[in-house]
Chains A and B, each alone.
Chain A
Amino acid sequence: MPVNPEAVGRSYGPFEPYEVTRVKIREFADAVDAFSGAHRDVAVANAEGFADLVAPTTFAVVIAQRAEFHVVTDPEVGVDFSMVVHADERFTHVRPLVAGDVITTTVHIDSITQRAGISMVTTRSELADADGAPVSTVLSTLAVREAA
């Protein structure tokens, strides 16, 4: 079943808040070779002006992909996950994520375009902190091939 173009404009969430932890920041920093002490040592992070360990630039994907999961598993959108290739990704940060943040996310289907048996599905995840202030916007486009 191809992707349903009428799913554009759908929103999902907000979901159970995601708690950003020191352990996860260190683990993610190790995985992407982010060597700064501000990802690992609270004293270094404080000295650089952060309230706690600061997340690497792409850490927000950990939170955004949890939200996007609701889009790709919605039967009314019709994404066959075995046929998905990641096409592009963009992060826009109002401020960096830090350990201790409690983040609430809503995800929107911004566009679905189709040609030559491929559907391009763009989602936008909006991350906000416990006060409701925006923290990051994550745009992600998946290319979904139609099963032959």
Chain B
Amino acid sequence: MTESTSPSFDGLEVGQVVATREVAFTRASLVRYAGASGDFNPIHYNDVVAQEVGLPGVIAHGMLTMGAAASVVEEWAGAGNVSDYQVRFTRPITVPNPGEAVIAVTAKIGALDEERRTARVDLTVQHGEARVLGKAQAVVDCE
């Protein structure tokens, strides 16, 4: 038996918040993402290198932020149901040591395509006062 996890298209409304989550990044998160993704750029773990290239400190991989935000959409959309996903990286996230950098992700319906039965989910990703992703949009295939 196959049970589709796609959300139902009917009843969705533009502006509706479908998922929210706070995610805390620590240096351990960055090391873990580096290993999982294969992106070993030292600006994501080495303070000296980060400062040498003019950054305020070690920063999170943009792709970690993008991936963590996708997981918030997936929580509502189900695994494997996001067919298109784009972001712009507008601000780096400095990750202190010791400590953590917290991002707040909000996923909201931005547009609905009746014909294709897809929902465009617009993501807001805040780190303190700063929006760290721009034009963050995921297209979800619905039932």
Query: Which A residues lie at the B interface, using CB under 8 A?
Result: 24, 27-28, 30-36, 38-39, 45, 47-50, 54, 56-58, 61-62, 65-66, 81-83, 85-93, 96, 139
- Give how many B residues have a beta carbon under 8 Å from the other chain's beta carbons: 42
Q: A47-B3, A57-B70 are in contact. List 16 more A-B contacts (CB 8 A).
A: A33-B23, A34-B79, A38-B78, A48-B5, A54-B80, A56-B67, A56-B71, A61-B63, A62-B37, A62-B38, A65-B38, A65-B39, A83-B53, A86-B89, A88-B86, A88-B89
B→A interface (CB under 8 Å):
1-5, 21, 23, 29, 32-33, 35-39, 41, 53, 62-64, 66-68, 70-71, 73-75, 78-80, 82-89, 92, 135, 138
- Min C-beta distance of B27 to chain A, whole Å: 13
Whether A48 pairs with B79 at a CB distance below 8 angstroms is yes
A89 to B78, CA, bound (A): 22
Q: State the 3 A-B residue pairs at the shortest beta-carbon distance, nearest first.
A: A32-B67, A90-B86, A96-B80
- Most chain B CB within a 10 A radius of its CB, from A30, A54, A86: A86
**Contact assessment for B75 and A91 in the assembled complex, using a CB-CB cutoff below 8 Å:** no
A56, B83: Cβ atoms closer than 8 Å: no
A56 proximity list for chain B (CB < 8 A)? 67, 70-71, 74, 79
A85 to B21, CA, bound (A): 26
Q: Are B84 and A66 in contact (CB under 8 A)?
A: no
Task: Point out which of B74, B92, B135, B138 has the most chain A C-beta atoms below 10 A from its C-beta.
Answer: B74
